[in-house]
Structure 1
Amino acid sequence: MEVLRGWAAGSGPLATRARVVLLAAEGVRDAEISRRLGVSRQTAGTWRHRWQSAGLAGLEQRPRTGRPPTVDEAEVVARALLAPGGSGASRAIARELGLSHATVAAVRRRWGLTADAAAVPRVPTRPPLPGAEVWVMGLYADASRAVLLAGTGPAGPPPPAVATVIGADVLGALTQALTALRPAVPRTRPADQPGDPGTAELAAFLAEAAARHPDVALHAITLWDTAQPPAQPPAAGATYHLPPAHATPLGLFRALIALDSTSHPESSRRVHLDLTAALERGGTPVRWLRENVAGHLRAPREPAGPPAPPPAPASSGVNQIDLGSFNECVVIEAVRLAGTITRGEIAHRTGLTQQSVSRIARSLLDRGILVEDAQRRATSGKPRTPVRLCGSAAHAVGLHIDPELLTAVVIDLDGAIVCTCTRPVSPDTDPADFVAQAVALGREAMEKARGSVPEDGFLGIGVAVPGPVDIASGTVLGPPLLKAWHDLPLLYLLKDHFPCPVIIEKDSLAAAAGERWIGRDRRARDFAYLYLGTGVGSGLYLNGDLYRGVSANAGEFGQLCAIALGRTGPDGRPEMVPECNPPASVPEFAARRGVAGGATGTGSTAAYRAVGRAAAGGDPGAAAAVREVAGAIGRGALGLVDLLDIDLIVLGGPFFTEDVAGFYLDEITRVVNEFPTARRLRRVAVEPSVLSAEAAAVGAASTIFHATFTPRLRGRERP
C-alpha cells in the first residue's frame, strides 16, 4: 500500500489508478469512486479487477487498442497452447501480455490454432513449414549459433486433444538453459580464418539426424547466428528456415516445444527433460537428437512384404463391454471379490440402494458380464438368486518380455489361463528380432485360443516389460539387463502388428495387478508384491489401487536393496547388487560353497534350478546360497514395510519356484518381523503369490481388466 500511496500523491494516469485501488480497499463502491475521481464506473471497475488479479504489475500495464509496435507472436502461441482452454483463453492471454483481444485472435488464426482451422497448426517460419504434424527432433548450439531441428510428417486426421504433459517448471528450465548458451556479443571471425568450423559440425549433425530419422522431413530453424559474417546455411539433411518476422528466437523455441507437447502424448516430460539435461551440461557444441518417432506417425505406412494375417480373435469386442458408470464398476468389483453374491449383499457391501443394484445387475446380465447361480433358500420371502462374473464374457492377452524368456498367455475374466506359449531368448538379441519374436509368440497364443474366445469378448493386449519404461510414449528406456534396448518405442512397434488396444506396464507392477485381480478377497488390502525374475522388482497396491508413481516406474527395488545393504559405488550411486538377480547370484554363491551344480548348466536359469533342487534335497551349501539371497531381498523388503506400514508381502515370479519357496518365505518373514521399528504393533505376513510362474504375463493381461473394470473416482484408465 505504501507504493500505491506514493503513486496517488503524484499526477497522471498511474495516480488515478492508485487512487481507485485505495478507495476500493476502504470499501468504497465503484459508483462512488467514479463520482469522487471523475472517471467512469467501467474505469473504476477495470483497475480494481486488475489490481486483484495482477497486483502492481497490473496497474503498470495499460491495455492498448490496435496492434502494438512489436508483438512476439510465438510467445502468444506458447501461452495459448499451454493455458487452460475455453472461450476466454484469448482474452486472458491478451490481459496477461497487455495486448488487445483482436491481436491475440489474429495471431491464433495466423498459426492455425482456431477451432475452424486446418487439421494441424501452421508454423510461419521463413519459408513456412509444410502444413503437417510438427515434432521437436533436435537442437544444435555452438559458440556462434543455435539451430532447432523440427520434423514434419504427412498430414493426417486432426490430432486428439492431449492434456499438457510439460509443466511450467520444465519449460522454464528449458528457456533458462537455452538463454545461458546465447553469446552476449557477436563473434567476429579472424581475418586468417576463411570459414566457420561450426558450419562443418552443424552439417555433420544434420546428416546424423537424417540418418536417424529417415521417415520425417527435417527443417533446420536458425534461432540465432552471431558469427560475422553469418555462416552459410547447410544444404544437406534438412531444409533451412528463419524464425517468423514477428517472433523472438526464445518465443519460437517455447512455441514449438508447446506445440509438440500438446499435440503428441508421446512427447512426454522425459523428452523435454532429456533436452534440458543436454543444455545444462553446457560445453560446445550441444548436440541433442530424440529417438525415432516413425512409429508415432498417424499416417498409414506401406507394409513390408506380404500383409500379416489378422490376429484372432477379433478386437471388435472392445465396444461390447462399455461400462456406463462408476457404480457399474463398483458392482462388478463387489461380485469379483465375493465370487458369488446376492443383490442384497451387493447393496449392503457397496452402500448402493437395492433399486440401483437391481438395475445395474439387470444391465450386466443382459450384456453377459454377469450370470445367475443356483437359487438360495431364504428364511422368509422368495428365494434369492446370487450372481457371479461370467469368465467367458471377456478375454485378454498377456505378453511378458523378459531378458531370457518370452511368455504369452490368454486369460478369461476369472483369471483362468486359456493357453500359454513360451519361447527362450537371449538378452543380446537385436531389438528388432526380439520384438519380432514377441509378436510371433503373441499371435501363436491368440491362434491357440481361437476356439475358446468369442470374438465379441476380446478386450486387448497387456505387455509387461522390465523397467524403466516411459508409459506416455510406450518407450523402454534401456533396462539394466537389456543393454541393447535404448529408447525402444515398443508400444508403437507392437501396435503396427496388433490392431487392437495395447497397453504397456512395468513387469513388477503388472504382477501386482494380476495378484489383486485373481487373488480376489485374499488380496483385498494393501500389499507389496516382490517379483523374482531376471532381477527383483516390486509392485505396490495401496489404498485400493495400483500405485504407479509420477512416472509409472514405482517399485525399483534394486536401489532400495542396495541402500539397505550399504552397497554404493565410488560416485555414491547405489550398486546393482547381485542378490537382486537370483538366477545369476544363487548359482554363483552356491559354487563358492562347493556345490557341484552351482556353476554348471546351459544357462543361468538351468543352473538356478539345479541349485534349487539341491537345496530342496538337503544340500547345506545350496540352502545357504538361497538363504543368503533371500536375506538380502528381505533387507529391501524391510524398507518397504517400514516406509509404507504394510502388513502383507507377496512373493512370486518365475524364479520363486517350489524348490526354493520355503527358503524365501522363511528368511524374508524373519527379517521383516524382527527388525521393523513398529514390530510391536503389527505382524507382517509373507505369502506365496496366487499366480503361476507366468505371473508377469498373467498380470499384464489382468491390467486390461483392471483398467476396464476397477472403480476409480479420479477416472478410469482405459486400454
Structure 2
Amino acid sequence: MTDTGTVTDPGTGTDGAAPGGEPPGAVAPGTRAPGTGIGRALEDADEGGGGEQWEMLRGWARGGGPLAVRARVVLLAEEGLRDAEIARRLAVSRQTVGTWRHRWQSAGLSGLEQRPRTGRPATVDEAEVVARALLAPGGSGASRAIARELGLSHATVAAIRRRWRLGPADAGAGPRVPTRPPLPGPDVWVMGLYADARRAVLLAGTRPSAPPPATAGPVIGEDVLTGLVGALDELRPAAPADGAGLDAYLAEAVERHPDIALHAVTLWDAEPESAPHGGPVTCHQLPSSAGWRSFLRAMAALDSTTHPESTRRVYLDLVAALRQRDRAARPAQPVRWLRESVAGHLRGPDDTPGAGPSSSGVNQIDLGSFNECVVIESVRLSGSITRGEIAHRTGLTQQSVSRIARSLLDRGILVEESQRRATSGKPRTPVRLCGSAAHALGLHIDPEVLTAVVIDLDGAIVCTRTRPVGAGIAPAEFVAQVVALGRQTLAEAGSAVREDGFLGIGVAVPGPVDIASGTVLDPPLLSAWDDLPLLYLLKDHFPCPVIIEKDSLAAAAGERWIGRDRRARDFAYLYLGTGLGSGLYLNGDLYRGVSANAGEFGQLCAIALGRTGPDGRPEMVPECNPPASVPEFAVRAGLPAGDEAPGSTAAYRAVARAAAAGNPAAATALREVAAAIGQGALGLVDLLDIDLLVLGGPFFTDDVAGFYLEEIRRVVNEYPTARRLRRVEVEPSVLSAEAAAVGAASTIFHATFTPRLRARERV
C-alpha cells in the first residue's frame, strides 16, 4: 500500500486503522505472521528474553487494537526497518510511525500509553478563558491566541467573552458575572473570603453603574493568582469547621461595608443542603461551566483590571491570611478576610460633593511633546535663558526651539524679559517661566499637624495654613479635616489661582503607602489610619488630579523643582520629621522603587548601628524619631526636664533653643542623634555612590541645622570606602519647614513638566 502522505493524529485511537478495526494486512490477534518483519521481531524477542518491557510489547502486538499498532511500530523499528517501510507494512502514515517511535524513545511504555485527544475538549471552563483574557497585556488578550493556548475554537472563546461582556463593544456596559443567579451589577469588587473545612465563600460587592474605563493593564500577576489558589487548596483540609462562623462573618461584612451590595458566592460546600443564611447578603452558586479555582482566578483578575486600587497588595494580604495557620504558636482557624472599606469612593456622580477647582487646566497647560518638556526644563533650571542657549543646551535646532518657545509664550507658560545686547547681530530676548501660569495645592499629613500650601510654577508659596491633629483621630473625621483645610487654603489663595491653570493636588503621607490604590497602610505612628483609602476619599471631594506620595519622596521632588540648577544632579534627601525618611533623585527622576516606597531610611540606620530585635528584624531605633529621642537624650545628659510633654514637638523645640544658646547637654543630645543618622547616610552614600546629601523637614530648623550638618558631613566623608575619590556635600534644603507640603505640590509640576521617556507606572 502506498503512503499518501496525509497526517494521521496518533491520539485519535484509530492509528490509521481501516473502518473494520485492524489496518489492512494486520495479523489476527494471538497469531504470528511467519516470514514477515513483525513475526521475526517477536521471535527474536522471545529468544533473547527482552525483559518486561518487551514482554509487554509482545502482548500488545498480539492483542489487537491501537496499542497493537504502536507496539508493532516499535518492534519493527527495533529490527532496523525505515519509517516508510513500517508505514507500508502496517498501512499507516509515516507521521504516525515517527510519532510513536519518538514517544517510545523519550518515555518508553508510558509514552505509548499516552493518548492525547485531538479536537475540542468535551467541556470548557469559562472562568479559565476569562482569567486568561484579563491577564493578557492590557486585559485585551486576542481570542485566537487564547483559543490556541487552551485548545478551543476561536468562536467558543469569543462567545465566552461576549457572555461575560469582556469585548470592546461592552466597554461602556461593564462586565457581567454569570453566577447562579448572576451578579446584578456591572461594577464588581472582591470584598472578602471565608473558608473553613466545610465550605468556602467568596464575598463580592456590586453597584449598578459601570466602572470607569481601565487606564492601565492588570496590576496583579499570574504568580499572585497561583499563590492564592494554592494557599486556599492547602487550607481546605486543615481549617476547622465552624458551623456559625459564616453567618457571623457575613454580618460583620454588612456592618463594615454598609454602602455596597454584597453577594456570597459559594466556592465549595461539603454540605450543600446547609446554605448560608446571608440575610442582606444574597447567595449565589458558581457558574455551571466553571470550577472554583478558575472562578477565583477570574474574579481576582476582573477586580484588578477594573479597579486600580485592587492591587497586588490586596491579594497578597489575602494569601497571607490564608497562610496564617503556618505561623508559629497560632492554631489553625477559619479564614475570615475582609478588605478595607471602599464605600467612601463608590458614590454615584450625582452624589459627589462639589468644591475647589473644577478642572485641571489641561486646555491651557497640556504639553504636546517631549521636546516641550525639555525646553521647559532648560528654562526652569536656568531661571532666565535665551533661545540660542536653549538650543545649545538641549541639542535641538534653533528652528525647533523658536517654534516651541512661541507656542509656550502664546499659552502663557513662558514670558519674555528685557532684551540683552549681543556682541554681534540682533539683541537676544531671554525667556523665563511665568509663575502665575500654573498652581498646585500641596497637603502634608503628619501625626501631629496637617499642612496645606498653594505654590505657583516658580515654587513661590501663595498661601499656607496648618491645623493640629491627633494620631488617634477617627478616619472619617480625619478626612473631613483634610478636605476642610484644603478648601480653606484654596479659598484664601482666591483670585491668585486661575481655574484654567490649577493643575491638581499633591498629598504627602507617611509610608508605607500603596500608591496604586492611594491607601495608607500601617504607618508606625498612625495606627488609627491603617488601610485608609485616602486617595479615593479625597477624589470624592476634589474633582481634579490628585497624586499621593510618601512624604520623603515628595520633599525630594520639591527640592529638585525649587532648587533649580543647584539640584540638577543626583542626590538623597534626608527628611527629619516625626520619623526619618529619605527621598532619592537618581538619573533625572525620582526613584520610587517597585512599590513606590523607596527610602525607608530608619532600617538602614538600625543595620548600620547593629540594632536588631530578638526576631532578627532591624529595630525602630529612637534616633530615627528626633522629636522623641532628642529631649530624652538631653535629659539623660543633664538638661533639666521642662514643662513640655515628653516626646512632643514643644519639648524638641526647647532642646533646640537650648543647644543654640550653648547648653552642652542639649548639644550632646543633638550630636548623638546626628551621629546615628550619619551612619545610615554612610550606607546610602556607599551604596549609591552619590556626592550630595540634602537635609530638611519640619525638625531641621535653623537652631539645630549646624549640629546635624557638621556631624553627618564628618561621617560621610571620613568613613566611606571610596572617600579618596569623592567629596560628599551635605547641604540644607532650599525648602522651608513646609518641605513635604511644598514637595507634594511640586509632584504635580514634576508629573506635568519633567521630560521623561515613559509615563509614571502603576505599582
Q: What range describes the TM-score normalised by the shorter chain of this pair?
A: 0.7 to 0.9
Distance 1:587 1:221, change over 3 A: same
CA separation of 1:511/1:494 partners in 2, compared to 1, >3 Å: closer, same or farther? same
Assess, with a 3 A threshold, how the Cα gap between structure 1 residues 690 and 257 changes in structure 2: closer, same or farther: same
Matches of 1:588 and 1:249 in 2, distance apart?
A: 57
Q: Once superposed, what is the RMSD of the aligned Cα atoms?
A: 2.6
Given that residues 632 and 646 in structure 2 are in contact (C-alpha distance below 8 angstroms), is that contact kept between their aligned partners in structure 1? Answer: no
- Indicate how the Cα distance of structure 1 residues 376 and 717 shifts in structure 2: closer, same or farther if over 3 A, else same: farther
Relative distance call for 1:535 and 1:297 in structure 2 (3 A) is same
The aligned residue for residue 156 of structure 1 is: 210
CA distance, structure 2, for counterparts of residue 598 and residue 589 of structure 1: 13
Is residue 628 from structure 1 mapped to residue 647 from structure 2 by the alignment? no
2:587 equivalent among 535, 543, 549 = 543
Distance 1:316 1:666 in 2: 44
Q: Which amino acid aligns with 1:90?
A: S
Q: 1:425 — aligned with what? A: 469
- The alpha-carbon deviation at position 386 of structure 1 amounts to 0.9
Tell me which moved more, 492-501 or 478-487: 492-501
> Whose radius of gyration is greater, 1 or 2?
2
2:494 counterpart letter in structure 1: R
Structure 2 distance, partners of 1:333, 1:121, is 43
| Distance in 2 separating the partners of 1:86 and 1:628 | 54
Contact 1:707 1:717 (8 Å CA) reproduced: no
State the SS of the aligned residue for 1:341: coil
Which residue of the other structure, out of 101, 119, 136, is the alignment partner of 1:64?
119
**Unaligned regions of 5+ residues in structure 2, if any?**
1-9, 17-65, 74-91, 100-110, 326-331
Cα distance in 2 for partners of 1:235, 1:465 equals 38
What is aligned with 1:323? 367
List per-residue Cα deviations over 1:21-67 (Å, max 9, x = no partner).
xxxxxxxxxxxxxxxx9899xxx9xxxxxxxxxxx9xx9866526xx
TM-score (norm 2): 0.82
In structure 2, distance between residues paired with 1:149 and 1:134: 10
Aligned mates of 1:501, 1:159 — CA distance in 2 = 16
Which residue does 2:524 correspond to in 1? 480
Q: Which residue of 2 aligns with 1:97?
A: 150
TM-fit CA distance, 1:492: 1.6
1:703 maps onto 2:747 in alignment: yes
SS in 2 for 1:385: coil
Q: Which residue of 2 aligns with 1:144?
A: 198
1:169 corresponds to which of 208, 223, 230? 223
Give the Cα–Cα distance (whole angstroms) in 1 for the partners of residues 403 and 191 of structure 2. Answer: 53
Q: Which amino acid aligns with 1:296?
A: H
State the Cα deviation string for residues 658-709 of structure 1 (Å, max 9, x = none).
1100000000001111111111111111000000010000000000000000
Indicate if the aligned counterparts of 2:554 and 2:743 stay in contact, CA closer than 8 A: yes
* Counterpart check, 1:677 vs 2:741: no
Residue identity in the other structure for 1:284 = Q
Distance 2:232 2:398 in 1: 62
Is 701-710 or 272-281 further displaced after alignment?
272-281
Residue type matched to 1:680 in 2?
Answer: R
Distance 1:377 1:543, change over 3 A: same
CA distance in 2, matches of 1:506, 1:113: 36
Equivalent position amino acid for 1:164 in 2: P
Q: How far has the Cα of 1:145 moved from its partner? A: 1.2
TM-score, normalization by structure 1: 0.87
Question: 1:454 Cα deviation (Å)?
Answer: 2.0
Matches of 1:449 and 1:182, distance apart in 2: 59
What residue in structure 2 maps to residue 245 of structure 1?
Answer: 288
2:176 paired residue number: 122
- Any residues of structure 2 matched to 1:439-450 within 5 Å, and which? 439-450=483-494
Q: Contact 1:61–1:98 at 8 Å: present in 2 too?
A: no
Pair 301,270 (structure 1): closer, same or farther in 2 beyond 3 Å: farther
Deviations 1:567-609 (A, max 9, x none): 1111111111111111111011111122125563597111111
Q: Which amino acid aligns with 2:342?
A: V
Per-residue deviation, 1:314: 4.8
How much has 1:455 moved relative to structure 2?
2.3
Q: Structure 1 pair 323/138, CA: closer, same or farther in 2 (3 Å)?
A: same
Name 2:248's counterpart in structure 1.
Answer: 204
The 1:461–1:61 alpha-carbon spacing in structure 2 relative to 1, beyond 3 Å, is farther
From 251, 269, 277, the counterpart of 1:234: 277
CA contact 2:219–2:308 (8 Å) conserved in 1: yes
1:299 is matched with: 348
Distance 2:255 2:166 in 1: 32
Answer yes or no: is 1:568 the counterpart of 2:612.
Answer: yes
C-alpha contact (below 8 Å) 2:211/2:306 kept by paired residues: no
Q: Distance in 2 between matches of 1:717 and 1:690?
A: 28
Contact 2:452 2:465 in 1 (8 A): yes
After TM superposition, the structure 1 = structure 2 runs for residues 200-599 of structure 1, keeping only pairs within 5 Å, are: 200-227=244-271, 230-282=273-325, 283-297=332-346, 299-300=348-349, 302=351, 310-311=355-356, 314-597=358-641
Cα separation, partners in 2 of 1:707 and 1:499, compared to 1, 3 Å = same
The answer to whether structure 1 residue 108 and structure 2 residue 152 are counterparts is no
Find 1:660's aligned residue among 704, 713, 718: 704
**Structure 1 110/575 Cα, relative in aligned 2: closer, same or farther at 3 Å?**
same
* Structure 1 pair 298–714 and aligned structure 2 pair: CA distance change class (3 A): farther
Indicate the residue corresponding to 1:30 in structure 2: none
User: Per-residue displacement from partner, 1:320-352 (whole Å, max 9, x unpaired)?
Assistant: 100001110011001100111111111111111
1:186-233, Cα deviation, whole Å (9 max, x unpaired): x9xxxxxxxx96231110011111111111111111111124x64232
Q: Give the counterpart of 2:135 among 82, 93, 102.
A: 82
Give the Cα–Cα distance (whole angstroms) in 2 for the partners of residues 662 and 432 of structure 1.
41
* SS across alignment from 2:495: coil
The 1-side partners of 2:537 and 2:138 are apart by 33
Count of equivalent residues: 658
- Percent sequence identity over aligned pairs: 77
Shift of 1:299: 2.3
C-alpha distance in structure 1 between counterparts of 2:609 and 2:215, whole Å? 47
In terms of mean alpha carbon deviation, does 395-404 or 170-179 score higher?
170-179
> What one-letter code is carried by the residue in structure 2 that aligns with 1:101?
H
Equivalent pair of 2:138/2:217 in contact (CA under 8 Å): no
| Change in CA separation of 1:701 and 1:560 when aligned onto 2, cut-off 3 Å | same
Shift of 1:280: 1.9
* Cα offset, 1:496, TM superposition: 1.8
Q: By how many angstroms is 1:717 displaced?
A: 7.2
Query: Structure 1, residues 285-334: CA drift from partner, whole Å, max 9, x if none?
Result: 1111101111332623647xxx66x32x5535233100001110011001
**Contact conserved, 1:635 with 1:671, CA < 8 A, in 2?**
yes
Whole-angstrom CA distance in 1 between matches of 2:237 and 2:474: 43
Change (3 A) 1:672 1:11: farther
Q: CA deviation at 1:511?
A: 0.1
Distance 1:174 1:675, change over 3 A: same
Answer whether contact 2:241 2:334 (CA < 8 A) is retained. no
- Tell whether the 8 Å contact from 1:136 to 1:150 is kept in structure 2 after alignment: yes
Q: Structure 1 residues 157, 539: closer, same or farther in 2, change over 3 A?
A: closer
Query: 2-side partners of 1:158 and 1:469: how far apart?
Result: 23
Say if 1:85 and 1:692 are closer, same or farther in 2 by CA, change over 3 A. Answer: closer
